[in-house]
A and B are shown apart, each in its own frame.
Chain A
Amino acid sequence: MNDSIQRLHAAAARLVRPVKFMEVCGTHTMSAFRSGLHSLMPANVTLLSGPGCPVCVTSQGDIDQLIDVARKPGVILCTYGDMIRVVGSAGSLEQARADGADVRVLYSSLDAVKLAAENPSRQVVFAAVGFETTTPASAAAVLHADKLFLSNFTILTSHKMVMPAMRALLSADDLQVDGFLCPGHVAVILGAAAFDPIASEYHKPCVIAGFEGAQIATALARLTEMMADGICRLENFYSQAVTEKGNVAAQELVARIFRPDASYWRGLALLPDSGLVLREQYRRYDARLRFQLGQPINREISGCLCGDVITGRATPADCRLFGSACTPARAIGPCMVSSEGTCQAWFKYKRVANRPSPSPRPSPGVPGEGEKFSAAAERNA
């Protein structure tokens, strides 16, 4: 990592103005903090966390619908673990489960299909959340359920696509983003070429990066070099896994089951063609139709700045709730709930530096120190 840091500092010394880069991947967020990268960076280079955590960008209305469905009699709600503690208007999935709802945490979407086949008298709903990496899994589940003629399987989809969000950020007048660290595993599916418009249309340098601290540092060094040299290009620094065209089988499967549609993002509001909905011939697997859920209503959480944090407009330290009312043990906003969220990363790794006052609500027997505090929260998850 030392070489990359040196290279980054050498390039930064040639910059004529401070620059801000953004990553759009929850794993990059965590890895950058975990490796201490932020503290090693030159003062004139900033790494912002963008809308890369799927849990964090999911709108409040979608979260509320998920919890509403979980509470319906006869429903088995299946979700990836990340969503279980996200707080909606009326509690979380975890609280719904405590109240008697049948909420199951699964590793694979196909396990939900299996559950539906094994429980014909129950309605199995899969929470289809996430970016391009998880979308093929949801598409596969729908296809599999269709092959089995299952009438008791549906998905509640809030799938989103990364590029429309990046375009929205690049088009925002009030935001300075000089270059992007593109998400590695999304690029495995989409292919490197999918990110080319950032350079060719928006004239910003971008680098597809792996997940090690050193890989992120190298990518940042390269971005800084491109800024210093006035180059706007897409470069693939994760070619071990990312090809030019990506995983074509996954892309075809997604295109067969889903079509693009407008989607509501926390922090970015409604973006055209940024989400995915089931195609007409698969609409019978849409939980919104099956349970007549209607349009989600987005009630924002009072005082929560997650929307601004996701778009790089605010840091967690700007939020009144951060570290006091909102902690990993008792999270209010999704960026604190998610293990990939910016607020949780700050709480764990940066809180002391940015907010010296201790949490005013220490739990008995639990030291008010970030790592232990949140570890306790995760055990409860």
Chain B
Amino acid sequence: MCLAVPARLVECRDDSAVADLHGNRVNISTMLLPTAKIGDWVLLHAGFAIQLISEQEAQETFGVISDLRAASGGAP
């Protein structure tokens, strides 16, 4: 439940945004990360961006997540 996933912001308005999550576009909230802007990589948890991260960190995290998803069926 506490696993956050990397996503890239492709649209931002007020405290909501559209994030590219592994090719899927999802509506998310940026109210916990008010400085987030288009193009930023963020850690996404249960529909909320919680932290800015570098693209390199995002790519590294994808590897872990696909591994864990395969193992555990994927909880939020």
Binding site for B on A (CB under 8 A): 25-27, 30-31, 34, 52-55, 80-82, 107-111, 129-131, 133-134, 136-137, 140, 183, 185-186, 188-189, 210-212, 240-241, 247, 249-250, 253, 338-340, 344, 348, 375, 378, 381
How distant is B45 from chain A, measured CB to nearest CB, in Å?
5
How distant is B40 from chain A, measured CB to nearest CB, in Å?
13
A31 to B69, CA, bound (A): 10
A211 to B31, CA, bound (A): 25
Of the listed residues B50, B64, B68, B72, the one surrounded by the most CB atoms of chain A closer than 10 A to its CB is B72
B75 cross-chain contacts in A, Cβ below 8 A? 80-82, 338-340
Q: Which of B29, B57, B68, B73 contacts A241 (CB 8 A)?
A: B57
Q: Is the CB of B68 within 8 A of A108?
A: no
Q: Is the CB of B48 within 8 A of A136?
A: yes
A348 cross-chain contacts in B, Cβ below 8 A? 71
Least CB separation from A186: chain B residue = B2
B29 cross-chain contacts in A, Cβ below 8 A? 108, 110, 140
Least CB separation from B65: chain A residue = A211
Least CB separation from A381: chain B residue = B73
Q: Mark B26-49, 1 if CB is under 8 A from A, else 0.
A: 101101111000000001011110
A381 to B51, CA, bound (A): 30
A381 to B47, CA, bound (A): 21
A131 cross-chain contacts in B, Cβ below 8 A? 1-2
Some 16 contacts from A to B, beta carbons below 8 A apart, are A31-B64, A34-B68, A52-B2, A107-B46, A108-B47, A130-B1, A133-B4, A137-B45, A140-B31, A140-B32, A212-B60, A240-B57, A247-B51, A253-B32, A340-B1, A340-B72
Q: Is the CB of A109 within 8 A of B45?
A: no
Judge whether B67 is part of the interface by a CB distance below 8 angstroms. Answer: yes
Q: Which of A25, A107, A110, A211 contacts B76 (CB 8 A)?
A: A107
Q: Is the CB of B2 within 8 A of A134?
A: yes
Judge whether B23 is part of the interface by a CB distance below 8 angstroms. Answer: no
Q: Is the CB of B60 within 8 A of A82?
A: no
Least CB separation from B71: chain A residue = A34
Least CB separation from A83: chain B residue = B1
